[in-house]
Structure 1
Amino acid sequence: MSARRIATAMGMVILGFFLLIIAFTTWYTVDESEQAVVITFGKADTTITDSGLHFKLPWPIQKAEVLSKETYSLRFGYKQDKSGDLVSYDKETKMITGDEYIVLTDLVVQWKITEPQKYLFNAQNPQEILRDATSASIRSVIGSSTIDAALTDGKAEIEAKTKDLLASLIKKYDIGIIVQSVKLQDVELPNAEVRAAFTAVTDARET
């Protein structure tokens, strides 16, 4: 085979490769539960919320980042392992009440992405920021609450205060998400002896 034919064949292979790139990177789909951001040369261009087939310029000129519209759950203080069992993290949940008792507090934060451009570009790790803000918020609220409120009838107020404080922090960070709800899962004393002593004191007070 002559050098000219080899060069022609190589040229056809390269051309075919670029045509494949163009064919597979000029379109994308968005489901009803999704939203997309078109990024042009690394800069967010437009946000697509309509579902269906959409077209854009080929890579590397443009690319589409598809994000979910669904509500996410941040589990603070515990997670579910592969077998479905719940694993708690006492170091993360251990905090001090206003009257200097130690309690273990875990909760769930419901949140969703409302501004995809900010979510993608205003922070390197928005979910880590949300976790840190959650920790700061619940510790602040527990630190100004009594042990009685944390363990008994003050949980609803603690949830409301934590949600308000967390929402204000997230708004300040401007990372494109909103906090929908905060739900305490468990607030308990750190060991059985302390729990028994507190229960005895509570029962005596009620009696």
Structure 2
Amino acid sequence: MRRSMNDEQQSDTSDRRPRGKITVLFNISAAVILLAILVGYACYLQVREGTAAVVTRFGEPVRTILKPGPYFKLPWPIEDVRVFDMRKQIFNTPYTATLTRDRRNVVLLTYVVWRIEDPHLFLQSVGDVTAASAKLDGMVTAAKNTLMGRYDLSALVSTDTKQIQTPEIESAIVSEVKQTAAEKFGIDIEQVGFKRIAYEQANVTAVLAQMRAEREAEAKQLRAEGDKESRRIRDNAAVKSEEILREGRLAAGRIRGEAEREAAEIYAKAHRSDPDFYRYWRSLEALKKTLGKDATVVLRTNQGFFDLLSDPPEAPKNKPKTKPKTNRLNQSKDVSISGGGNE
């Protein structure tokens, strides 16, 4: 009995020894694997699209990674990684007051579109986005105050679009700060713009007066252009009417000349046909013109010019003779004529 119990105890002890070794080996393997995973994770570096990484060794930058993908680095605390967003960013400056050339105080809210161009220089000179915002605020504000002193208030606000020079001022600010930001801080400033323009209460009246003056000047210009156009239209109408009248006078002169020529031919023909009758008829016409309307003339019948009334011309010889009528004017020496000249 005792031997059998000893044998069983020895067999149990021999079984436990291999199992304990396996457990120890498993634990060691698990620890090694876990340590390898931790070390591998500490040495693994993943650079994403739109970002850049700067690897530092004991705080000093040693390399810059710009392309996305997996990379290897030494574990912390030997090497560390600073990741930067390389996409465009917008920074809004606080409200800042500035003076224009005409001594007007203007409050401007400015925005800046920028991105990190050199991550290595950015890390050494700035460090992070918060510090970069402070640097941008100082540079843009200084450039804005300097440039606004070269422009009047009308360059920012005016009813005349030709006087607005806001794009020119914004471009000038970008040119002023772009090179400095790239060389000192590794920042590329792409755009600077005025987000809002405000005025102090003391300048509101001046701005309104300026706008009113510009409106009045524009109205005067429009009226002057209207008057000029109306004068031009009147002058053209007068010229055209004068041309039409001149053409009418020329046509009337030609017609009148033609009529007078035809009348002269008719008179000449009548004179050639019967000179005595022609003189008689012309004398009658002259008598009609001489005696006006409601005229009364008392003359002797044998007096010149009126002798045609008492002594009319004889009929031509080639015409048939007719019995002459007794002229009552021959019966008296005096005659009284009354009536209009056209009767």
TM-score over 0.5 (shorter chain): yes
| Residue identity matched to 1:150 | L
Deviation of residue 129 (structure 1)?
1.4
| Other-structure match for 1:132 | 138
Deviation of residue 18 (structure 1)?
7.4
Give the whole-Å Cα distance in 2 for the aligned partners of 1:18 and 1:147. 69
Deviation of residue 196 (structure 1)?
4.2
Deviation of residue 142 (structure 1)?
1.2
| Other-structure match for 2:156 | 150
Q: Which of 54, 58, 70 is the matching residue for 1:53?
A: 70
Deviation of residue 176 (structure 1)?
0.8
| Other-structure match for 2:124 | 121
Give the whole-Å Cα distance in 2 for the aligned partners of 1:56 and 1:99. 60
Give the whole-Å Cα distance in 2 for the aligned partners of 1:21 and 1:64. 17
Q: How does 1:14-53 map to 2 (within 5 A)?
A: 22-53=39-70
More helix by share: 2
Are residues 135 and 21 of structure 1, via their aligned partners in 2, closer, same or farther at CA, if it must alter by over 3 Å? farther
More strand by share: 1
Gaps of 5+ in 2: 1-27, 159-163, 217-343
| Other-structure match for 1:86 | none
Gaps of 5+ in 1: 1-11, 78-88
Give the whole-Å Cα distance in 2 for the aligned partners of 1:204 and 1:146. 15
Give the whole-Å Cα distance in 2 for the aligned partners of 1:126 and 1:108. 14
Deviation of residue 143 (structure 1)?
1.9
| Residue identity matched to 1:94 | A
- The one-character-per-residue Cα deviations of 1:25-58 (angstroms, maximum 9, x if unpaired) are 2112111111111111211111112212221011
Give the whole-Å Cα distance in 1 for the aligned partners of 2:138 and 2:34. 45
Q: How does 1:1-207 map to 2 (within 5 A)?
A: 22-77=39-94, 89=95, 93-123=96-126, 125-152=131-158, 153-172=164-183, 174-191=184-201, 194-207=203-216
TM-score, scaled relative to structure 1: 0.77
| Residue identity matched to 1:44 | P
Highest RCO, 1 vs 2 (Cα 8 Å, sep ≥ 6): 1
Give the whole-Å Cα distance in 1 for the aligned partners of 2:71 and 2:182. 31
* Paired residues of 1:73 and 1:108 also in contact (CA < 8 A): yes
- Secondary structure of the 2:103 match is coil
Are residues 195 and 26 of structure 1, via their aligned partners in 2, closer, same or farther at CA, if it must alter by over 3 Å? same
TM-score, scaled relative to structure 2: 0.48
* Paired residues of 2:116 and 2:186 also in contact (CA < 8 A): yes
Are residues 181 and 128 of structure 1, via their aligned partners in 2, closer, same or farther at CA, if it must alter by over 3 Å? same
Give the whole-Å Cα distance in 2 for the aligned partners of 1:182 and 1:188. 17
Larger Rg: 2
Are residues 205 and 50 of structure 1, via their aligned partners in 2, closer, same or farther at CA, if it must alter by over 3 Å? closer
**Count of aligned positions:** 179
- Secondary structure of the 1:53 match is strand
* Paired residues of 1:21 and 1:59 also in contact (CA < 8 A): no
Are residues 63 and 97 of structure 1, via their aligned partners in 2, closer, same or farther at CA, if it must alter by over 3 Å? same
Give the whole-Å Cα distance in 2 for the aligned partners of 1:48 and 1:56. 11
Deviation of residue 138 (structure 1)?
0.9
| Residue identity matched to 2:70 | L
